[in-house]
């Protein structure tokens, strides 16, 4: 029986930590070291939280007393944690070292219970033998200040989100949500969208001349020199032709040669935000993917903790980097004194920067020795994880190297009143660039041939290029993280969840890696900013983050902080709920006639999108008309497709694509903003103001229009055998039959949007305590039985093989293999069908008293193979 229980957040850490704790016991000077054994288990993240349903779940008037409950999917996990902790002397809480990890440790101690003195908090920044041994030697108690800071954040998020979401439901419409940080992040994207619409692109032209010296093998491309002020002097094609004529008629000779030296300093080691930004621009990774892969590298012992806003490194790490640089590159690449990087003022969670745990493990060695064993069953993650490790390794090593030195040369050529310039750069010493070469998309001047002042040059060609000034670029994920960090909004542990939340809630859509605000996001932001001006400000959100920091430092009482913020919020909420408070989301009446009833159609903006709905919808049920028209954007409203990647990680046709589209759009006669165009039919197009619904401007255009054709995937209709197409409706993607007399639709399933199986009624299977029956359905987690009246009756369960065999003729071919599975295990328990999210495949199992027996079967090579787990954890495989 182990004397010590160690609880970690993620199961990926268990093997490494167990290995290092065995050596700790073995090397102990304690004579009883052989008995001092450790068992490591995982909590799989949070185990307890405020319930999602049932109201606020916080008694504000009772000193903010929370109604914490065990998470529904963690009940069995908590039972196993309690059993494991029953007979041990010490429980080591080895959750992550940020505030969230501190809170998880506190919840674990509260739920497991027992003598509080047996709980020991251990923290480590990396999963290495030395770090684990040091953490367990210096174990302490849970930091309640940090726990209270996390609770304060959670409570404020719940109160603001719960009450503002209820307000939006009442005033704007269903399916809307708001949040303390979420709504501020959406505001950033909405304001950028509005800035783009208000932008007026200006035309200008660039002139290039190919000039060749008599002793050179090929001409070099010179460019007409302009400043930010003078570049608009060439604002038309005719003006550009005038400059070209002047160049063609001039005697071209080198007027001056200027040489200057410059240096490039290395960047600081990664912190969370810069890792996310660089992985986006150089590797093309989304923020969530970067953090998931970084978590894998951390658990494998390859890098330090990946949620940090510090660029500091330990002396040991700096010395190890210096030794590697000396050995691998030589003393010229080591600076005379160590490179030190300042942290941003107010940086929290100030542990180390993200760096390799052992810099001596170069990428190839580290990947083969530590990463490959961890990812044997996740081969798809091996290559991207390896690329991310190399990025981190190179950035850290480069950060400890010398500057790169360059010689920059500018050759100027007079062409009448104009000047042509050629700029080149020669590397004198590559320094840190030896390890961190030029990043993808970054343009650097090339080395140029030698010139002499006064020598004549021959003109071999002149070219003009049209350009337009560009509106502010839309945020991509990395750019949004940078903006949030610069404004002090959020913390390293929250950036990824903020970005995920605003997309999941339907406020923001990522189109070719650029974040676009949905129309409903503008409505909600406008209303919230009007009713909660202070709370939705960037300064308020940043100040709250700083106040939470003071709670974590023990400098401020967390309950006083909560009371102060809630008092201000409650006053604004009462005003917003009043009749003169937040204005409703009224529809905009048009002159378009409803084909069903002849009444006017209204422009409506809802969480499902912008559409036309009959004005008769609000009438009593007997007179009501529910006709709607989905609007199809014309070509100007659709993002152009491209494979070109900019240095910010964007996928765009060219940097001026947005400007060209703005120039092609109509201008709203009411407010002057750009209008969006939608094709309603072959003969009718509607142009709506981009500032809708704040501006009700719209115009109808009659003519002949090309309705966009369909070039997407197709499947056969299970009802009439016609073709089904994948369409994007107001409620998301769906499969629709193209046969007008067949109204069949089907639900698409990830990851490839294949249609879900046709539901099979199983009327012989009754739902307990109801008059309903089960239907066999397919969802994201495989096939399951659900009540036919779902969601009114929310009952689901797994089907047994016996139950499936009663409907063998109705089961689709792709699931026929399930019917070949065994009906019972060796003890007479019915076999049920389950689904593994990890492998995205079905397997079989048996249960007794609602608990798995350990009997399982997997489908391999065309047959079912049974795995029977014995009590000691051994397994044996037998044919089914």
Pairing of strands 4-8, 90-93: parallel
Q: Is residue 634 within 8 Å of 677, Cβ to Cβ?
A: yes
- Residue 303: closest CA among 135, 131, 418: 131
CA distance 414 to 180: 59
From 259, 164, 58, select the one nearest 532 (Cα to Cα): 164
CA angle, corner 572, sides to 567 and 577, nearest 5? 125
From its phi and psi, is residue 245 left (phi > 0), alpha (psi between -120 and 50) or beta?
alpha
Which token pair is 688?
Answer: 């709506």
Task: Confirm if 223 and 208 have CB atoms less than 8 A apart.
Answer: yes
Cα 151 from Cα 696, distance rounded (Å): 44
Question: What are the residues whose beta carbons fall under 8 Å from the beta carbon of 172, sequence distance 6 or more?
Answer: 523, 524, 527, 582, 584, 585
Classified as helix, coil or strand, 816 is helix
* Ramachandran area for residue 850 (φ above 0: left; ψ -120 to 50: alpha; else beta): left
Q: Are 765 and 803 in contact (CB under 8 A)?
A: yes
357-to-314, 327, 464, 578, 785 alpha-carbon distances in Å: 11, 19, 53, 57, 48
Show Cβ contacts of residue 431 under 8 Å, excluding neighbours closer than 6 positions.
264, 266, 333, 401, 402, 403, 404, 405
Characterise 854 by phi-psi region: left (phi > 0), alpha (psi -120 to 50), beta (else): left
- Tokens 């995920």 found at: 500
Please tell me the total number of residues recorded for the chain in this structure: 880
CA–CA distance, 83 with 69 (Å, rounded to integer): 19
Distance CA 468, CA 723 (A): 44
Give the DSSP H/E element, type plus range, for residue 246: helix 237-248
Rounded Cα–Cα distance for residues 520 and 693 (Å): 9
Q: Is the dihedral of CA 15, 16, 21, 23 positive or negative?
A: positive
User: How many Cβ atoms from other residues are within 10 Å of residue 253's Cβ?
Assistant: 15
Tell me if residue 333 is catalytic. no
DSSP tag of 367: I
SS (H, E, C) 551-601: HHCCCCCHHHHHHHHHHHHHHHHHHHHCCCCCCCCCCEEEEEECCCCCCEE
Distance CA 636, CA 34 (A): 73
CA angle 402, 403, 408 (to 5 degrees): 150
Please spell the DSSP secondary structure of 128-178, one letter per residue: SHHHHHHHHHT-B---HHHHHHHHHHHHHHHHHHHHHHHHHHHHT-TT---
- Strand pairing category for 4-8 and 38-42: parallel
| Cα–Cα separations (whole angstroms), residue 631 to 99, 387, 605 | 46, 43, 12
Q: Tokens in use for 387?
A: 């690329």
Return the H-helix or E-strand segment holding 328.
helix 315-328
d(CA 877, CA 799): 24
Of residues 20, 38, 298, 305, which has the active-site annotation?
305
45-81 burial, b for 16+ CB within 10 Å, e for fewer?
eebbbbeeeeeebbeeeeebebebebbeebeebbeeb
Q: Which residue numbers are catalytic?
A: 305
């Amino acid at each position: 029986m182990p004397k010590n229980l160690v609880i970690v957040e993620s199961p990926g850490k268990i093997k490494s930590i167990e290995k290092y704790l065995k050596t700790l016991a073995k090397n102990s000077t304690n004579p009883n070291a052989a008995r001092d054994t450790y068992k490591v288990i995982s909590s799989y993240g949070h185990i307890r939280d405020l319930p999602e349903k049932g109201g606020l779940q916080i008694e504000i008037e009772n000193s903010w007393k929370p109604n914490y409950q065990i998470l529904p999917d963690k009940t069995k996990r908590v039972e196993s944690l309690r059993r494991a902790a029953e007979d041990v002397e010490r429980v080591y809480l080895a959750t992550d070292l940020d505030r969230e990890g501190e809170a998880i440790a506190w919840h674990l101690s509260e739920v497991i219970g027992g003598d509080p003195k047996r709980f020991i908090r251990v923290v480590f920044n990396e999963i290495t033998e030395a770090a684990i041994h040091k953490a367990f030697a210096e174990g302490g108690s849970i930091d309640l200040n940090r726990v209270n800071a996390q609770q304060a954040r959670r409570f404020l998020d719940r109160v603001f989100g719960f009450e503002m979401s209820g307000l939006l439901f009442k005033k704007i419409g269903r399916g809307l949500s708001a949040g303390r940080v979420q709504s501020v992040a959406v505001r950033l994207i909405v304001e950028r969208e509005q800035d783009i619409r208000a932008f007026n692109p200006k035309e200008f032209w660039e002139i290039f001349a190919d000039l060749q010296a008599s002793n050179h093998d090929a001409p070099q491309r010179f460019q007409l020199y302009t400043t930010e002020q003078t570049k608009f002097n060439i604002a038309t094609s005719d003006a550009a032709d005038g400059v070209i004529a002047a160049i063609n008629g001039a005697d071209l000779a080198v007027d001056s040669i200027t040489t200057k030296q410059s240096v490039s300093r290395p960047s600081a080691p990664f912190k969370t935000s810069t890792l996310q930004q660089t992985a986006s621009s150089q590797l093309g990774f989304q923020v969530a993917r970067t953090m998931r892969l970084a978590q894998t590298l951390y658990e494998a012992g390859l890098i330090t903790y990946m949620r940090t806003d510090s660029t500091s490194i330990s002396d040991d790490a700096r010395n190890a980097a210096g030794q590697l640089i000396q050995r691998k590159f030589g003393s010229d690449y080591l600076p005379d004194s160590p490179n030190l990087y300042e942290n941003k003022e107010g940086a929290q969670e100030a542990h180390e920067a993200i760096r390799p745990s052992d810099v001596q493990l170069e990428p190839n060695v580290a990947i083969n020795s530590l990463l490959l064993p961890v990812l044997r069953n996740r081969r798809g993650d091996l290559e991207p994880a390896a690329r991310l490790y190399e990025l981190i390794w190179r950035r850290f090593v480069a950060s400890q190297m010398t500057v790169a030195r360059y010689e920059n040369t500018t050759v100027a050529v007079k062409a009448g009143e104009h000047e042509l310039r050629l700029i080149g750069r020669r590397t004198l010493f590559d320094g840190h660039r030896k390890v961190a070469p030029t990043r993808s998309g970054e343009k650097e001047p090339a080395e140029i041939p030698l010139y002499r002042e006064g020598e004549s040059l021959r003109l071999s060609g002149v070219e003009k290029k049209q350009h337009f000034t560009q509106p502010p670029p839309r945020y991509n994920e990395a750019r949004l993280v940078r903006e949030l960090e610069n404004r002090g909004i959020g913390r390293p542990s929250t950036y990824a969840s903020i970005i995920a939340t605003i997309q999941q809630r339907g406020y923001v859509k990522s189109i070719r890696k650029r974040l676009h605000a949905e129309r409903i996001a503008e409505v909600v932001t406008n209303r919230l900013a009007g009713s909660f001006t202070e709370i939705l400000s960037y300064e308020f959100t940043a100040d709250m983050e700083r106040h939470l920091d003071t709670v974590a430092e023990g400098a401020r009482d967390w309950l006083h902080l909560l009371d102060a913020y809630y008092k201000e919020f409650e006053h604004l909420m009462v005003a917003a709920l009043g009749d003169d408070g937040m204005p409703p989301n009224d529809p905009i009446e048009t002159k378009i006639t409803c084909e069903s009833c002849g009444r006017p159609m209204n422009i409506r903006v809802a969480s499902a999108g912008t559409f036309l709905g009959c004005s008769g919808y609000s009438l009593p049920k007997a007179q009501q008309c529910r006709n709607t028209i989905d609007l199809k954007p014309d070509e100007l409203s659709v993002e152009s497709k491209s494979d070109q990647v900019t240095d910010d990680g964007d996928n765009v046709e060219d940097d001026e694509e947005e400007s060209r589209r703005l120039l092609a759009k109509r201008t709203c006669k009411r407010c002057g903003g750009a209008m969006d165009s939608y094709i309603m039919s072959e003969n009718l197009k509607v142009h709506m103001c981009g500032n809708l619904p704040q501006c009700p401007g719209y115009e109808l255009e009659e003519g002949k229009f090309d309705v966009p054709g369909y070039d997407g995937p197709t499947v056969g209709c299970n009802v009439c055998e016609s073709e089904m197409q994948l369409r994007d409706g107001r409620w998301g993607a769906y499969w629709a039959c193209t046969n007008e007399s067949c109204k069949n639709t089907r639900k698409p399933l990830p990851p490839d949007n294949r249609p879900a199986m046709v539901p099979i009624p199983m009327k012989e299977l009754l739902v307990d305590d109801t008059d309903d029956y089960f239907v066999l359905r397919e969802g994201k987690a495989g096939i399951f039985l659900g009540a036919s009246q779902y969601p009114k009756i929310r009952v689901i369960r797994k089907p047994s093989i016996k139950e499936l065999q009663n409907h063998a003729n109705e089961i689709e071919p792709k699931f026929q293999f399930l019917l070949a599975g065994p009906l019972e295990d060796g003890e007479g328990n019915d076999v049920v069908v389950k689904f593994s999210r990890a492998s995205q495949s079905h397997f079989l199992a048996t249960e007794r008293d609602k608990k798995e027996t350990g009997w399982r079967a997997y489908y391999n090579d065309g047959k079912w193979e049974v795995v029977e787990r014995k009590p000691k954890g051994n397994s044996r495989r037998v044919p089914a």
